[in-house]
Amino acid sequence: MNSSDTTLAKNKDLVRAFVDALFTKGDLGAVDQYLAEDFVDHDPPFNAPADREGLRAAGAVFRQACPDWHSEPNLMIAEDDLVVEHFTASGTQRGELLGVPAPAEGRPLTLHGTNIFRIRDGRIVERWNRPDELGILRQLGLAPSQP
């Protein structure tokens, strides 16, 4: 394995560890550990700020609404300083999400999406996110179901 391959593997491991810590384990401190001070989120969730605090807030929102929320990488591709992750995240809604209260028995939710992360000096400095927002809105009853 050459040094380029080693760097690419380390970058994928970094992204995997960050996603696991924040979204699967609910560790809000992962933002401080894995994201650079000048981190920019080009597609912040729920109109959150485009910085570390916006991503921390997203992690907190999902953890509050779905205490068992977890994210599984389906595919990770690394090239140069970028890591692309296609994921499936899921959990059971037990609290309010996007203004929608959870039913007494809970509601299973699944989110598919793709993230692109840019890495610099062992920290994540940028993220581009393409989640299936319409799918979540449909599951919450905020958008019509597919015909």
Q: What is the pLDDT of residues 92-123, one digit of tens each?
A: 999 999 999 999 999 999 999 999 999 999 99
Provide the pLDDT confidence category of residue 140 given band limits of 50, 70 and 90: very high
Q: Is the pLDDT assigned to residue 132 strictly greater than 70?
A: yes
- Give the tokens for residue 106: 């809970």
Q: Is the pLDDT assigned to residue 128 strictly greater than 70?
A: yes
Residue 112 lies in a domain: yes
Report percent pLDDT > 70 for the chain.
Answer: 98
Q: What is the tally of structural domains in the chain?
A: 1
Residue 147 lies in a domain: no
Q: E strand or H helix at 18, and its extent?
A: helix 3-19
Span 45-60, mean pLDDT?
A: 92
pLDDT of residue 1: 62
DSSP 108: E
Q: Is the pLDDT assigned to residue 46 strictly greater than 90?
A: no
Residue 111 lies in a domain: yes
For residue 129, the enclosing domain spans 3-139
Residue 119 lies in a domain: yes
pLDDT tens, position by position, 71-86: 999 999 999 999 999 9
Q: Is the pLDDT assigned to residue 64 strictly greater than 80?
A: yes
Span 19-25, mean pLDDT?
A: 96
Residue 71 lies in a domain: yes
Residue 33 lies in a domain: yes
Q: Tell me, what CATH number does 91's domain have?
A: 3.10.450.50
Residue 145 lies in a domain: no
What are the counts of helices (DSSP H) followed by strands (DSSP E) for the chain? 4, 5
Residue 144 lies in a domain: no
For 56: left if phi > 0, alpha if psi spans -120 to 50, otherwise beta; the answer is alpha
